[in-house]
Structure 1
Amino acid sequence: MISVLTIVKGRANALHNLLKGLETNSILPDQLVVVFMNEPIRELPTFPFPIRCYNIIESAHLPLAAARNLAAEKADGDFLIFLDVDCIPSETLIADYQAHQDSNALLSGEVRYLRSGATAQDDFLSAMEVFSDPDPIRSDMDVIPYSLFWSLNFACQKTIYQKIGGFDEGYKGYGAEDTDFSFSAEKMQVPLQHVSAKAYHQYHESFSPPLNHLKDIIGNANRFYQKWKKWPMEGWLKAFKNMNLIDWDERKITFKRKPADEEILAALKK
């Protein structure tokens, strides 16, 4: 039995597009599990597969790790496919994962990035390849290192998820919880396997570096270093340090100041 799992905060249109993508799959999921974060459960349209909805409230932070763990706990399937709410599955995504469902590996799918305005085009679901660009980091990799695992699009047996230990709920909000998950997989000797199960990431505004998540990233980076004696997200941390937003020594990061509004605006990706 195959369960598709997604976690949501807002993003109503993105979720609808994900549902439409699942509806057009060559193999339908046996169920979709949706966990709403820091908001009430929303009523969803009827689709040709069961949808079960839950919610989790943690007012201070976006509970990404806890929401994924809740989705996995509530899923009936023995094979779990995790899709970010911003991802629309290709027509063969479930079939591509199903071909590897007996693997004892953590399966990492592919992601392409839809350009701005793509989902406003008529019949865009049939032209997502044309409207999208490859992942600039991972697209040419046949082997994905654990340090580049990303939770946008992945799958594994439920027993493998449990063996890894799920996501560490000590991570609060945005940043590093997915790298921690893959490092835990490596520690438990779970192979990381690249699979050509493709999803298309829907465009939304984002920041580089992500100044809008500064405090979460600081806290999560410190937690990651305490566990693994390595720093995650080093590119972002170097950018924060260069902007004099943080102090960063060998063992700890401390917050110095909030970014100014004009700094945040300048970091908005064009």
Structure 2
Amino acid sequence: MTTGSAEETVAVITIVSGRHLHLRRQLEAFEHSTARPDVHIVVAIDDPDIDGVVADSAPAAHPTRVVHVEKEESGTLPLADARNTGAQAAIHAGATLLVFLDVDCIPGPDLVQRYLRSCAATPELRLLYCGPVTYLPRDQEVFDARELHHFTDPHPARPVPGPCQTQLSSEMTLFWSLSFAVRSIDWLRIGGFHIGYRGYGGEDTDFAMCAARNGFRIAWVGAAHAYHQHHAVSDPPVEHLEDILRNARVFHRRWDRWPMEGWLNAFARQDLITYDETVDDWRRTTVERLSR
């Protein structure tokens, strides 16, 4: 650890394709981190310009390494494979604690420190450490990590422990990969993200299910705040319909239940897909119906 801990070597892992401004803000925020990571692995998915973004934006005391992966021929983003590639690079660099941070997230000053302290306080437990995430509004004008605490308003669907508290939970379906930490040895136990998931949806819940199968719980870490920068998204995310439907089938084959049911049902209400009880499958509606 660059500052604060001689026992853990910390790597932050961020995957990115586009979102250059969001990445710049994330990198710049680490200038104010109370505990800086030993390395920040940035996995660029089919985006050669990321090297320049990182070189221009990363603080001098924030060691970075860019790793490149390609899109699939279909143009689908290999999100699961990219995270695994980042973890592999981090472990190869000697990391013992992996902190995954979505490119849209700006780390609060205490994010790394709080993950470190929670990890140190629970050495014998198998845990995925998750911090609270605040979704910033479209008209947000302040992105300085030192000022973002004024806008803290964590997502209400997840636990929010007090500043020095860690809350354990077995409700693994609440896991998300926007901001989480895991020991390297535990990452290897879980086996990483299943690369059968391609594009948007499903891989987070699958990862949590694999963790639960190996005796893991979630540790909700108070004050490990991250701030999610706004970007346009549909509700439900119809632009990701094909990915979600394909990945839902992968999940169903692996776990014998359907994930993302809220989205699937919303697509059905829009007459985009329909559930076939006879074969227990969701199917696209016909082109004719979609064009109406």
What TM-score results when the alignment is normalised by the length of structure 2?
Answer: 0.83
Distance between the aligned counterparts of 2:269 and 2:138, measured in 1? Answer: 30
Matched positions, count: 260
**Where do 1:200-239 residues align within 5 Å?**
200-239=227-266
Higher deviation after alignment, 95-104 or 235-244: 95-104
The equivalent residue for 2:45 is 37
Give the conservation status (yes or no) of the 8 Å contact 2:132–2:160: no
Contact 2:29 2:144 in 1 (8 A): no
Counterparts of 1:113 and 1:231, CA distance in 2: 27
How many Å separate the matches in 2 of 1:149 and 1:182? 6
Q: What is the alpha-carbon distance in structure 2 between the residues aligned to residue 148 and residue 127 of structure 1?
A: 28
Decide which moves more: 231-240 or 248-257.
248-257
Deviation for aligned residue 1:129: 2.9
Which residue is equivalent to 2:5? none
Deviates more, 1:142-151 or 1:70-79: 142-151
Contact 1:114 1:128 in 2 (8 A): no
The counterpart of 2:283, out of the listed 246, 254, 263, is 254
Separation (CA, whole Å) in 2 of partners of 1:173 and 1:57: 13
1:178-203 C-alpha deviation (Å, 9 max, x unpaired): 00000000001122211121111111
Q: CA separation in 2, counterparts of 1:54 and 1:85? A: 15
Query: 2:149 maps to what in 1?
Result: 129
Q: SS at 1:161's partner residue? A: helix
TM-fit CA distance, 1:139: 4.4
Give, in angstroms, the shift of residue 132 of structure 1.
4.7
State the TM-score, normalized to the length of structure 1: 0.90
Q: Confirm or deny: 8 A CA contact 1:115 1:131 kept in the other structure.
A: no
Note if contact 2:80-2:195 (Cα within 8 Å) is conserved in structure 1.
yes
Aligned equivalents of 1:23, 1:124: Cα separation in 2: 10
Partners in 2 of 1:114 and 1:124 — Cα distance? 13
SS in 2 for 1:155: strand
1:138 aligns to 2:158 (yes or no): yes
More deviation, 14-23/142-151? 142-151
Does the CA-based 8 Å contact 1:31-1:50 persist in structure 2?
yes
* % identity of equivalent residues: 38
Q: Give the Cα–Cα distance (whole angstroms) in 2 for the partners of residues 200 and 21 of structure 1.
A: 11
Task: Return the alpha-carbon distance in structure 2 between the equivalents of residues 218 and 15 of structure 1.
Answer: 29
The match for 2:36 is: 28
Secondary structure of 1:52 counterpart: strand
Secondary structure in 2 matching 1:70: helix
CA contact (8 A) 1:115 1:132 kept: no
SS at match of 1:15: helix
What root-mean-square deviation, in Å, do the aligned CA atoms of Structure 1 and Structure 2 show? 2.0
Q: Secondary structure at the match of 1:26?
A: coil
Cα offsets for 1:27-58 (capped at 9, x unmatched): 11111000011222432224212100011112
Amino acid at match of 1:19: L
Cα offset for 1:138? 1.1
1:159 to 166, 182, 185: 185
CA 1:38–1:257: 2 relative to 1, 3 Å: farther
Whole-Å separation in 2 of the counterparts to 1:108 and 1:131 = 19
Deviations 1:98-118, CA, capped at 9 Å, x for gaps:
112344311111111111232
SS of aligned partner of 2:26: helix
Q: Which residue of 1 aligns with 2:26?
A: 18
Contact 2:159 2:220 in 1 (8 A): no
Residues 46-93 of structure 1, C-alpha deviation per residue, up to 9 Å, x if partnerless? Answer: 421210001111232111100000000000211100000000111111
